Amino acid sequence: MSRRTSARVRTRVTRRPADPRGHWFLVAVGALLMTGALVLNGFAENGLGQSYTPVQAATDTAPGIEAVRRGGPVVNMAGQRPQSLRVPAKTVALTFDDGPDPRWTPELLDILKRHGAKATFFVVGGRAAQQPELIRRMVAEGHEIGNHTYTHADLTATPLWRTRMELSLTQRALAGAAGIHTLLVRMPYSSSAKGVSVAQLETMRALGQEGYLVALTDLDTRDWSKPGTAEIMRAATPRNGGGAVVMFHDSGGDREQTVGAVDALLTSLARKGYAAKTLTDAVGLPSAHTTADAGERFTGTVLGLAQRASAAVTGALSWILAVAGALTLIRLLFFLSLAWAHARRARRARGEAPGKRRRGLAPSWAAPPPVTVIVPAYNEEAGIEATVLSLVRTDYQGEVEILVIDDGSSDRTAEITESLRLPGVRVIRKENGGKPSALNVGIAQARHDILIMVDGDTVFEPATIGTLVRQLADPSVGAVSGNTKVGNRRGMIGRWQHIEYVIGFNLDRRAFELLGCMATVPGAIGAFRRAALDSVGGLSDDTLAEDTDLTMAICRAGWRVVYEERALAWTEAPSSLGQLWRQRYRWCYGTLQAMWKHRGAVVEPGPFGRRCLGYLMTFQVLLPLLAPTVDIMAIYSTLVGDPLPVVAVWAGFVTVQALTGWYALRLDGEKASALWVLPLQQFVYRQLMYLVVIQSVATAVLGARLRWHSIRREGTFSAATNPETVQETVEPAFVESAYKG
């Protein structure tokens, strides 16, 4: 292929859409639907719970209130004067509030059917929409339905528009469930006529203007307080053969006592010659039911479907929240224990007492082997000088060859390196072909069999090369991951990344070594045996995460990959959210590519494929994808319920993370004071990371080709080549360690 043809191909590839945006619309729609479902479910469930009867202010006065207090339990407030009706002797109207409930309502219906009794159920619209089959059963068995609002709202405290909406939504729920409307209403938190307050009287007038008959009660069993079956039965029994409207509850908590009391009450009343009727039948009125038209039935059906869907979504999200929290906690504790075991084993291997360190090669090396350090560099003029100088200043006693592979840079990367005129440093220029291509050129040009790869924005400490090579004394080890440190950690973004590197990367690598499933030897610092590289054919450009791809291939080839925490490399982390997004987007997308490429490892002998790919899929793909639901559910639970449990759970997780971070920082010899940014990290950095995963998964699913995302180099370590001109952004620990010699 000619150079001109190759350029045209590259142009076409470059112009290919590589960064899909349409999925953000789908994500937004999904978030809106999820929020809508939670709002609907929260609206319906917010007022539901164990009902109670507040203390009534029966001494306040208003025109007409005494007529209501002296009247019966069924009140018509449509006219100028209140009209009320009573239940005749030897008649009871059993009424049940707050249902229907999927457990207790069917049991009560069975009891009523067995006794041949009829009752009136004042249903909450939100529950009626969720349990339409129970509404249909009530109507089919001759029971009566009353309106108890949609959310069990206290109508004395709601504006008129809210009152109308509560009643109207319940009517629609009944229309969708059984094709009916009802003329009966009972105000939540109301009781007997003699306890009506002025506020309740005004609400009753408003309900009368809407065409409702207001139902109160003669006998309030207060079964919601669970006083015992005998006490409930005593409270529900009419005195001296009189008639009564009796109030029970079939939802809002454990109603086992209510079920037992109703069964015993009906048996007792039957012996006394009582008849149990619906409320309107008991007071001599026509049925409260009216037929809903087709449009109302359709609207009610849609409302019922939406309500049940919202309940299902809320339930599913609650399970997701619980599972995600449990997995996260288990992972933290499990990896913390593995990190402790790794650190203990490493100390024993070095013959060190806890808290002490010493440098040097493993005794199995007869002499320090020669090493080639490969630095792939593309437009790295901002930091290449600091990188090369740190490599030259090593205290490693063996021969060190340094190859800087200039991958078609358009800046002065090669010129700056050559101008240093350092012994053992060689610059190799090539046309731009990508980082894997540059590394393969370096491998081919290297004169030695132990190869160390380092990025062009990274600097080594003097002891780093020696500590890396020490691990390769074991012939079964094919690669060694070093310990990457954030050098520019003075800003908030830098501090967040510092915490992430220590806890999320370096702590994990300790565990990965013990589990035999190291996923990545970072491009910033890694040592390799040439035989291991040859066994997998060198680096591949199949993915944008060439380091992860290479590590997985080496593990699959049967080599051990280990972690050396003392091999420190200081790297320049992105200094802005935009730059951080570009870097993590490439990392995440490349990791997905590598997982797909090496998916066959799952069925291969050995633990690597199942452990590594299973872990990555669970904790780096699925859980981040579910993370938005965790946040939404946390906000939802705070708004519609008691916020203290949510705050307590969040504080608990932050505490566990802080303890884990403290131990990880201690293992790395870092200051624990860095943890003060951890709580803030939960509100910005975490969300950015899971949005990166969403973007990466969408890009992979849509089959778009992502270009290499370069980030701007700030030259964090360039001033550190002279300790007297260190920038404020450079971590002092780096400067101190870099100039010990």
Catalytic residues: 97, 249
- Give the contacts of 714 (CB within 8 A, at least 6 positions apart): 382, 488, 572, 575, 729
- Residue 132 · residue 176 · CB < 8 Å: yes
Q: In what order do the strands lie in the sheet with 371-377?
A: 425-430, 400-407, 371-377, 450-453, 526-529, 477-486, 560-571, 458-460
Residue 344: Cβ within 10 Å count? 11
SS3 403: strand
Beta bridge partners of 202: none
The alpha helices in 86-178, defined as continuous H runs, are 104-115, 125-130, 132-140, 160-178
On whether the CB atoms of residues 361 and 470 are closer than 8 A, the answer is yes
CA nearest 139: which of 119, 125, 158, 153? 119
CA separation, residue 297 to residues 127, 236, 293, 590 (Å): 17, 36, 6, 53
Helix/strand number for the chain, H first, E second: 28, 20
Are 458 and 487 spatial neighbours (Cβ–Cβ below 8 Å)?
Answer: no
Whole-angstrom distance, CA of residue 539 vs CA of residue 436: 5
The residue written with tokens 């370590």 in the block is 717
Tokens of 325: 């929290």
SS3 for 591-620 is HHHHHHHCHHHHHCCCCHHHHHHHHHHHHH
Tally of CA atoms within 13 A in the half-sphere of 365 that contains its CB: 18
Give the Cα separation of 337 and 353 in Å (integer). Answer: 19
CA distances from 507 to 38, 242, 564 (A): 37, 77, 11
CB 716 within 8 A of CB 572: yes
Tell which residue, 51, 73, 54, 115, has the closest CA to residue 219: 73
Phi, psi dihedral angles at 94 (to 5 degrees): -75, 125
Cis peptide before 102 (omega within 30 of 0): no
Strand partners, 440: none
- Up-side HSE of residue 535: CA atoms within 13 Å toward CB? 16
Give me 540's structure tokens: 């591949």
What distance, in Å, lies between the first and last C-alpha atoms of the chain?
52
* Residue 117, Cβ density class (10 Å: 0-12 exposed, 13-18 middle, ≥19 buried): buried
DSSP-H helix ranges across 516-576: 530-535, 546-556
The letter for the amino acid at 128 is A
Q: Give the sign of the dihedral formed by CA 539, CA 542, CA 544, CA 547.
A: negative
Helix (H) / strand (E) containing 301: helix 294-350
Closest of 186, 183, 181 to residue 124, by C-alpha: 186
The half-sphere exposure of 391 on its side-chain side, counting CA atoms within 13 A, is: 32
